[in-house]
Every structure is written in structure tokens, then in C-alpha cells.
Amino acid sequence: METSQKAKADAFRASHADGVLVLPNAWDAGSAAVIAHAGARAIATTSGGVSWTAARPDGQGLSRDDMAALVGRIAAAVDLPVTADVEGGYGPAPADVAATVRAVVAAGAVGINLEDNDGGPLFTAEDQAARLRAAREAAADAGLPELVVNVRTDVYLFQVGAPEGRFDEVVARAKAYADAGADCLFVPGLTDLDTLAALVRAVSLPVNAMAGPGAPAVRELAAAGVRRVSLGTSVAQAAYAVAHRATVEALSSGTYSAVEDSLDYSTLNGMFSGHQR
């Protein structure tokens, strides 16, 4: 294990201690380099965006090896800590999660985002805890016990159970997940500031919120006690939207206004000059 990877893991872990860590998620090496150049403190991948680069759908549309290879290209393109969205772990069993952790650590990642489902119903809290323990053990065996494990629960995103019971379900899962070695709690689908503030008070883990158009501003999320804000697929979606609009415009009106606000060629090309392989 390279000292630099351990140092990045330590820095990434420390970035959750206070303030708010903002992660505009990357989907390939180029987007990661641009996000780093813009001032990000770390790079988080988005499973949707990473899958789309290979013309595959989100939801474990990539194989574990293909995902890890793409994460490796991102890690090689930046000097920042990289945390990998490993979706549901590329299999339901603890052994599947362990194999995935070993793959992304070998690729250069210092953190993971692990969901508590693999495309079907949510795992029980006990089953997800076993998967988390496997992740921790695999990271230690791979020489990176400092790996930051951001556990995602989709209780709110999937609207699991009665609305009035969801908060208590997330709190119960957070306790089980923390006991199993999780470092952060990610609750996509929850943007209500009062509920987020109550969750921050109720759990021991730093809380990660997913933001984007229509969500509270970063400063509002930070005031509620949120320590980590992810943009998910929204940046990748915006980039693909520009490609779509530019194509439609050029093929219809023959004009180019969709690309008027592009980064200029020299600036963009210069962002990549330090990472020639």
C-alpha cells in the first residue's frame, strides 16, 4: 500500500470532522480533473455517470472489474482522495462486498459508498451490518484500514414503509451500521431541513445528503448539521444535456448557442497536462 494512498485516506477521513464536504460527483477521468481544478477537496464517483461512460445503465450495469478499472483511471487523473460509488457491492453476500472493496482499494480509492440494497428490497439491518463488517475486514486485509465507508440507506428514496415510521427506521439502521464499522450515513431522498437536523442529533455518524436542483443550498444543509453533500448524477446529467441540446440545435436551426458558455480549449486542455501517462 502506497503511503500516498494512506495519506489521502487520512485526509479524506479528517474532512468529515467539521464543516461540510461538498462533492460534485465525477463520472470519468476528465470530469474528475475538471472538478479538482475547480477546487474540490475530494472526488466522489457517481455510479450512474460511470456506467453511462460505458453506455450501460445505472444499477450495477457494469461488472465489478469494469467499475474498478474506471475508478482506477479517475484516481490516476487527480491528486485528491477518491471515493468510489460501489452501488450495492456487486452482489448480495458479504464475500461480494469484500471482493469489491479489494478491487477499488487496488484501483486507488480511499472511500466507498455502499447501498443497503442491490436493486431489490432493502437488506435487513443485520444483513447489511454483515456486509459492512466484510468491507472493513477486506479494507484492512488490503492494507487500507483507514478506508472511509459511507453507508447509504434508501428508506426515504424508496419510500419504504409508512411515512411516519421512516425516521425511526433510519435511526435504527444507522446504529446497526455504525456498530458494524460504517463511517458516514448517506440518506438520499431526504432534503427536509428539520428532519435532517433531527437525524443529525439522533445518530452518531456524520450525515451525507444528496443535493441538486430544488434542494436546500449547501449553507442551509450545513446549518442543519449535514457534514457531506453529494450532487449524485446531476452534474453528469447536465453535461449530457448540453451534448443533446447542442446536437438538436445544430441539426435543426444550424446554430451553436448551446455551447456558448464552454470552457475555452486552452484552459481545458491545460487541466490535463500534468497527468500524462
In this prediction, residue 43 carries a pLDDT of 98
85: which strand partners? 113
Domain contains 251: no
d(CA 184, CA 149): 6
The residues, any chain, with a CB within 8 Å of residue 43's CB and separated by 6 or more, are: 23, 26, 32, 35, 36, 74, 78, 80, 81, 82, 83
d(CA 127, CA 158): 18
Q: Report which DSSP code applies to 247.
A: H
Domain contains 260: no
Domain contains 250: no
Work out the pLDDT band at 219, boundaries 50, 70, 90: very high
Domain contains 258: no
Q: What is the pTM of this model?
A: 0.95
d(CA 114, CA 132): 8
User: Which ranges of 15-124 does DSSP label H, i.e. alpha helix?
Assistant: 29-37, 47-53, 64-77, 94-107
Domain contains 247: no
- Cα radius of gyration rounded to whole Å, the chain: 19
Work out the pLDDT band at 3, boundaries 50, 70, 90: low
How many independent structural domains does the chain possess? 1
List the grid coordinates of 232.
Answer: 449524485
d(CA 240, CA 253): 20
The predicted-structure confidence for 78-100, as pLDDT tens digits, reads as follows: 999 999 999 999 999 999 999 99
Domain contains 135: yes
In this prediction, residue 272 carries a pLDDT of 87
List the domain range (segments joined by +) for residue 159: 3-233
Dihedral angle computed from the Cα positions of residues 80, 106, 7 and 31, in that order, rounded to the nearest 10 degrees: 0
Q: How far is CA 117 from CA 87, 121, 127, in A?
A: 8, 6, 10
In this prediction, residue 1 carries a pLDDT of 56
Q: How far is CA 84 from CA 48, 88, 129, in A?
A: 12, 12, 19
Q: For residue 120, how far is the Cα from the chain centroid?
A: 20
The predicted-structure confidence for 231-241, as pLDDT tens digits, reads as follows: 999 999 999 99
- State the CATH number of the domain containing residue 117: 3.20.20.60
- Flag whether pLDDT at 2 surpasses 60: no
